[in-house]
Structure 1
Amino acid sequence: MAGASYDTRRGELTTYFDRTAVEAWSRLTSDAPVSRIRATVRAGRDAMRATLLSWLPADMAGLRLLDAGCGTGALSVEAARRGAEVVAIDVSPTLVGLARDRLPAIPGPGRIAFRVGDMLDPGLGRFDHVVAMDSLIHYRAADIVRALAVLGARTEGSVLFTVAPRTALLTVMHAAGKLFPRGDRSPAIVPVTEGGLRRRMSSEPALDGFIWAQSHRVNSGFYLSNAIALTRASQQSPHPEVPERSGGLEGALQPAARSLGVSFEAAAPHLRMRGKDGTGGTPA
């Protein structure tokens, strides 16, 4: 079981995504015009989804995939187009309803079964692959690892997930976020360090059969997230290289600073990039 703190947080997220921000997420996950801030988030989510899909087999016929925290179903649709049998689950009945309404015709053997509920529900069965895109970023590291243990115990191939990295950039973005209109705010995320996550995972028996295959960071304005691939040791195979999306700290923060009507220097005077001589910037 994931524990009481997981259950409490899941309840808070249900309230947010099913009541408070339904319209915002409906627009964000569509082609509708959005604010500059949300446009960077939309672009980042598109890039992250493409990254995770690139780590899945091109031919998924006969494979079962869990889209854990499916939202409006964009990743589920792409996996089904590859032939996968997808179980797409989310805590928000409204978002799942949108996913059903938007579901296009999918030729071939692929299909999607949408569910409302907990992604850790044992009744969902076993899977070849699990994807949890931005559905664990609101939880503490201990809860993330416990959730991965539950999911991993039911997974034959890989568990792909994202976390919020603990970086100086994310700290600045959170501070700047307090200046935004309330409608542009998302639920609080919990940044974690890669080292801390690895240490917790190494002491989790249910994850002993998995290896940390690769990771990739997506930087897009106010979207910053790390993708991580855990694969069964017996299933490991090379993955294609994924190019970095961002031009670095300043490049990532510039759109956010411009949206506030200030310069990068004014928004973050202490976060200059290192020069070629190694001087300046944030300590490594």
Structure 2
Amino acid sequence: MSYEITRSRVETYFDRTATATWAALTSDAPVSRIRETVRAGRDAMRARLLGALPEDLSGARVLDAGCGAGQMSAELAARGAEVVAVDLSPQLLQVAEARLPDTVRSRVRFVAGDMTAPELGRFDHVVAMDSLIYYRAGDIDARLSGLAQRANGSILFTVAPRTTLLMGMWYAGKLFPRGDRSPVMVPHAPGALARRLAGHGAVRDVGRVSSGFYISHALEVRP
């Protein structure tokens, strides 16, 4: 499936089908036990990615690529960064903007669109948490190639790792397709993906978070 088709499915899912679900998941509202594990996993991964960045980001321009409900954007701005928060879903951007603390509002600009659009400009750092998990290796390679040309520092991103659970879910999705299902994550072997991306800069393994149904692996590329 091409990048454009997958991107369209992701946009439709988050902007029309699952806005309320993701708004609840990224809040402190009560959710199911399964979603509690996903929430905890996302919190842990966000902390892991933030831990790979400087504590003081004053004056740094940072792209929050696939910002969703804006939790990462708020924390980046709290460290002093000038944040460009991009997401395919205007509906989720409305949630993110409404939740943004007034203390950092002047340092965050929300943009609806493709996170890799060249017109967004250059950045000191790029963070793409769980926004590339629906794409194949070739598409990830191409997107990071473009970002690497416009990044002065680290590009932090996550992928769905090849585990027994995720591969089983992936094959089930392939065997029982439904036109209205959520976008299917594409599992990757982080080591193999890191070797493929080595042409864009130094690649570092940032680690994995496993929390119930949430399993995500972080990598860093430094152009």
- The separation in 1 between residues aligned to 2:95 and 2:73, in whole angstroms, is 13
Higher relative contact order (Cα pairs below 8 Å, separated by 6+ residues): 2
Identity of aligned residues (%): 58
2:119 alignment counterpart: 123
Matches within 5 A, 1:109-120: 111-120=107-116
Counting matched residue pairs gives 218
Q: Does 1:155 align with 2:155?
A: no
Matches within 5 A, 1:84-123: 84-106=81-103, 111-123=107-119
- The separation in 1 between residues aligned to 2:6 and 2:119, in whole angstroms, is 21
- The separation in 2 between residues aligned to 1:173 and 1:220, in whole angstroms, is 16
- The separation in 2 between residues aligned to 1:176 and 1:8, in whole angstroms, is 20
Measure how far apart 1:189 and its partner are.
0.1
- The separation in 1 between residues aligned to 2:169 and 2:36, in whole angstroms, is 15
- The separation in 2 between residues aligned to 1:138 and 1:177, in whole angstroms, is 13
**Residue 214 of structure 1 contacts residue 230 of structure 1 at CA under 8 Å; is this kept in 2?**
no
Relative to the length of structure 1, the TM-score reads 0.72
**CA deviation vs aligned residue, 1:240-282 (integer Å, no higher than 9, x gap):** xxxxxxxxxxxxxxxxxxxxxxxxxxxxxxxxxxxxxxxxxxx
2:204 alignment counterpart: 213
Instruction: Name the CA shift for 1:38/1:175 in 2 (closer, same or farther; >3 Å).
Output: farther
Greater share of helix: 2
**Residue 81 of structure 1 contacts residue 110 of structure 1 at CA under 8 Å; is this kept in 2?**
no
Q: Pick from 35, 44, 50: which aligns with 1:47?
A: 44
- The separation in 2 between residues aligned to 1:175 and 1:197, in whole angstroms, is 20
1:166 alignment counterpart: 162
1:24 alignment counterpart: 21
**CA deviation vs aligned residue, 1:112-144 (integer Å, no higher than 9, x gap):** 000000001111000000000000000001101
User: For the aligned residues, what is the CA RMSD?
Assistant: 2.1
Q: Does 1:231 align with 2:212?
A: no
- The separation in 2 between residues aligned to 1:174 and 1:62, in whole angstroms, is 41
1:270 alignment counterpart: none
Measure how far apart 1:35 and its partner are.
1.1
Q: Pick from 8, 13, 23: which aligns with 2:10?
A: 13
- The separation in 2 between residues aligned to 1:82 and 1:199, in whole angstroms, is 32
Relative to the length of structure 2, the TM-score reads 0.91
Flag the structure with larger Rg: 1
Q: Pick from 70, 77, 82: which aligns with 1:73?
A: 70
Structure 2 stretches lacking a partner, 5+ long: none
The amino acid of 1:143's aligned partner reads D
Structure 1 stretches lacking a partner, 5+ long: 233-284
